[in-house]
Each structure stands twice: as structure tokens, then as C-alpha cells.
Amino acid sequence: MDQLPYIVFGSPIIDGDARAAVDKTLSSAWIGTGPRVHELEEKFALLAGSRFALATSSCTAALHLAMVASGVGPGDEVITTPMTFCATANAIIHTGATPVFVDCQLDTMTIDPAAIAAAITPRTRAILPVHFAGRPAPMDAIEAIARKHSLLVVEDAAHGIECEFKGKKIGSLSPLTCFSFYATKNMTTAEGGMITTNDEELARKIKIWGLHGMSADAWTRFSDQGYRHYDVIFPGFKYNLTDLAASVGLTQLPKLGHWLARRERIWARYQEALAGLPLSLPAPPAADTVHARHLYTVLVRDDARVSRDELMTRMHRRGIGTGVHYRALHVEPYYRERWGFRPEQFPNAFAIGEHTVSLPLTPKLSDAEVERIIAALNEILG
Ligand SMILES: *Cc1c(COP(=O)(O)O)cnc(C)c1O
């Protein structure tokens, strides 16, 4: 049996800085939502080029809050892609609105603007693009459609902290952009998220909806400024991030650029080393964009010796964890049954979902580990 340690898919770097920051927060008077969260919000807004950044307990919470704060509700339709994680569509459904899937493009795996335009009805309220795998969605085309039909744009940037589109940071473009700090994401606080916006009124609403509908947060109530009363003005949710989590995130923000460079090198090595195998490799990023290199996803072609699932089993036996991002949402039982979708309705998303596998891509991987992954793929597929 292989004596080498298992390569855990999506394993994050947790270094001495993160450990020291958690220790310091634990030793302070405050571990809940307080000064570290506020500091993370300020620094994240600077990074994203947005006026406001509001921390949340997850990107799922961020997406739900974005929908609620902008008044999306029953009777509304929100257009999104089936090539995403279920949280994207569930955030729409939780408001009582209807998720309207449109297909993605086969090469970029991001939402197809022509399909968005074709799906607009008088009930359409918003478009929810996903920066899939870290590749920016075609925001110029999406913005043009939104402007023409007066639609809201909410971006799912769970994969896209480092993304840029035509010289602009993702997070600065749309009314609302949602980020994830989940354990496998490019920046992680174990669980956590962020919403960016340039709209002061939306920022205020998100803050209140995200903390019980209360007009002042706990730090404002209990800090050394003295106790202050609050009013409950909405029936809100509890979606706040903790200082404990934020203190980890604060140590990672300055390292994201360095980590992205490492991700880019691993990506380039895969592209070169896997070119001869029966795999469809990811398209190069479009000019004028920064790809966040969150996932390296390949399609196992039909002429390969093994299926996608068999490939994953054999990689696992060699001590290498892989992932599937994603089986198309419209074929998952809930969406298929409740919303009546058929697999062939979105052929690109369906084909990707049946053939895709994600290889490990984190800055934590050593060169030797990357070569081990390549050698395993050569053995299985070559
Ligand atoms: C991870 C992810 C989410 C949800 O993020 P959480 O922080 O885990 O709630 C939403 N959308 C996409 C595309 C994701 O990958």
C-alpha cells in the first residue's frame, strides 16, 4: 500500500499567523462579532474595490441576505445557472421566488448571456451569475441585459475572491456580490462569507436583516462606549461572523496574491502534463480577466479507458482526493421533481456534470504532490 500521506482535496493552509491570531482573539474580552469582524470588513472592501463589505456566517447566508435585502420574493423569477452549488438556487427558493435555470457555455462553464436574454419574462427580477471555478462570468454582457430590462445583478463569487473582469475587481461591479470563506475556498475562516455593495441603503438593510432585524449589533451595545438600547425593525436572521473566524481571515488577506501565483503555477503544470490524456482541459482564461484558479476541473472524455467515477475511485486508492463540481443542479432530485426540469434541457451543464472531476489545486500542495497526482492520472488513463 501507498505509504505517502493522503492528499485531502481542498485542504487549506493554516499557518502560525492564523494560530497566533486565534489565540490572541481567544485571550481578548470578545470572541463574537466585534472589532476583528469590522477590521475584516474594512480591509475586504478595500480589496474588492467596493464602498461596503458586510461579513456573514457563510456565502449561503450572504446570498439569502442579498435576495431578501433587495426585496426579491414570491412571484419573482431569478435567472441563474445549473452549473453551481445548490446554495445558489436555494437562496432564491428561500425567498419564495422561482429559480429559472439557463444553460452554461461548454468551454467556460459560466452562464450563457444569450440564454439569459431568451429567458427574461415580465416576472424576472434578478440575474445571479456564478464565477465558476474562479473564471469570471461575462459581466459586460450580463450588465447590458440587466440595464436593458432594469434587473438586479447579484454575483455568486464563492469561487472568485481574486477575480477581475476587464480591469475591475469582482465585488466592485454589481449591486451585490457574495463571497465564501468555507473550508475549501481560496480564503477560509472554516465557515464565513462576505457581501460587497456600493449602495449605502442596501448595506444598512443587509446589516439589520443579518442580525435579528436589530438596529444595533452586540459590539455596539456592550463595548467600552457603554450600553445602548436597540430596536427590532425587521424579523431578521442570525447570519453574523465571529471575531474568532475573522481573525483567521485577516491573516490570509495579505497572502492571497502569493497563493494565487502558486495556484497559477500548479494550473500551468497540469495543462502541460495532462495534454496527452483523454481529458478535456479547462480553456485558458479570457484576456482582460483574472481567473481566481479556485478549481482545476477536467472532463473525462468518452474515449477514456475508465469513467469519471471509476477514475475518482482509482485516484482515491492511490491516496489522492478529487471532487465533482458539480453534477448539474437541474438533475438533482429536488429541482427535477419540484420544478420539472429534464436533463437534456440544459445539455452543456448536464454533460459537464456527468464527466467533470476536480483535481487538487491549493497552494498547500508541494511540487512532489503535484507530480504524484500527474503520475497517477497517467497510470490510470495513459
Ligand atoms: C461554496 C459555495 C457556496 C456556499 O458557500 P458557503 O460559504 O459554504 O455557504 C455558494 N456558491 C458556490 C458556487 C459555492 O461554491
Place of cell 492520472: 377
Strands in 356-359's sheet, in edge-to-edge order, are 279-280, 296-300, 356-359
**What dihedral angle (degrees, nearest 10) is formed by the CA atoms of 202, 208, 211, 215?**
160
* Residue 231: per-residue pLDDT: 86
Q: What is the pLDDT of residues 127-162, one digit of tens each?
A: 999 999 999 999 999 999 999 999 999 999 999 999
Whether residue 213 is predicted with pLDDT greater than 80 in this model: the reply is yes
Nearest CA to ligand 1 atom 5: 59
Question: In sequence order, what DSSP letters do the residues of 137-186 get, joined into one string?
Answer: P-HHHHHHHHHHHT-EEEEE-TT-TT-EETTEETTSSSSEEEEE--TTSS
For residue 85 and ligand 1, the question of a CB distance below 6 A is answered with yes
Q: Report the alpha-carbon distance of residue 30 to residue 242 in Å, rounded.
A: 9
Q: Which atom of ligand 1 lies nearest, measured to the CA of 325?
A: 15
Check whether 15 has a pLDDT greater than 60: yes
C-alpha of residue 333 to centroid of ligand 1, in Å? 20
Ligand 1 atom with least separation from CA of 192: 7
* Residue 77, phi then psi, degrees to nearest 5: -115, 140
Query: Which atom of ligand 1 is nearest the CA belonging to 193?
Result: 7
What average pLDDT score do residues 302-327 get?
98
Q: Which residue has the cell 464565513?
A: 192
Residue closest by Cα to atom 6 of ligand 1: 59
Could you report the per-residue pLDDT of 94-120, keeping only the tens digit for each? 999 999 999 999 999 999 999 999 999
185 counts as catalytic: yes
Ligand 1, residue 84: give the atom nearest the CA: 13
Counting Cα atoms < 13 Å in the Cβ hemisphere of 2 gives 13
The best mutation among 58, 59, 170, 237 to test binding of ligand 1, ranked by most ligand atoms within 8 Å of the C-beta, falls on 59
* Count of beta carbons in the 10 Å neighbourhood of residue 23: 11
Helices and strands, counts by H and E, the chain: 14, 13
**DSSP one-letter code for 94:** T
- What mean pLDDT is predicted for residues 346-366? 98
Strand ranges in 306-375 using DSSP code E only, listed in sequence order = 356-359
CA 85 to chain centre: 8
Quick check: 47 pLDDT over 80?
Answer: yes
Residue 378 CA to ligand 1 center (angstroms) comes to: 31
Is the pLDDT at 1 greater than 60, yes or no?
no
Span from the CA of 180 to the centroid of ligand 1 (angstroms): 6
Q: What is the rounded distance in angstroms from the CA atom of residue 141 to the CA atom of residue 33?
A: 38
Task: Please enumerate in sequence order all residues whose Cβ is within 8 A of that of 250, keeping only pairs 6 or more positions apart, or say none.
Answer: 21, 36, 39, 40, 43
Residue for grid cell 465571529: 242
Closest CA to 182 of 322, 50, 339, 295: 295
Cα 218 to middle of ligand 1, angstroms: 27
Nearest CA to ligand 1 atom 2: 158
Q: Which residues pair with 280 in a beta bridge?
A: 299
Residue 65 · residue 53 · CB < 8 Å: no
Higher-pLDDT residue of 216, 378: 378
Query: Whose alpha carbon is nearest atom 8 of ligand 1?
Result: 182
Q: Locate cell 482545476: which residue?
A: 296
Q: What is the dihedral of CA 259, 153, 206, 71, to 10 degrees?
A: -160
Among candidates 22, 32, 35, which has minimal Cα distance to 224?
A: 35
Q: For residue range 230-279, list pLDDT tens digits in order.
A: 888 889 999 999 999 999 999 999 999 999 999 999 999 999 999 999 99
Is ligand 1 within 6 A of the CB of residue 193?
A: yes
Torsion angle of alpha carbons 273, 286, 357, 345, nearest 10°?
-140
pLDDT of res. 217: 66
Which residues make beta-bridge pairs with 300?
279
Q: What pLDDT does 229 receive? A: 80
- Supply the pTM of this predicted model: 0.96
Is the C-beta atom of 239 inside 6 A of ligand 1?
no
Question: Domains of the chain, with CATH numbers?
Answer: 16-254 (3.40.640.10), 256-381 (3.90.1150.10)
Q: What percent of the chain has pLDDT over 90?
A: 93
Give the separation between CA 358 and CA 348, rounded to whole angstroms. Answer: 17
Atom in ligand 1 nearest the alpha carbon of residue 184: 1
26 neighbors 234 (Cβ within 8 angstroms): no
Cell 459586460 belongs to 140
Cα separation of 92 and 90, whole Å? 5
Contacts of 223 (CB under 8 A, 6+ apart): 34
Beta carbon of 91 within 6 Å of any ligand 1 atom: no
Residues in the chain: 382
- The residue annotated as part of the active site, out of 43, 166, 168, 185, is 185
**Does residue 182 have a cis bond before it (omega within 30 degrees)?**
no
Q: How many C-beta atoms surround the C-beta of residue 272 within 10 A?
A: 10
**Following DSSP, what letter does each residue of 215-283 receive, concatenated?**
SS-HHHHHSTT------B-S---B-PPPHHHHHHHHHHGGGHHHHHHHHHHHHHHHHHHSTTSSEEPPP
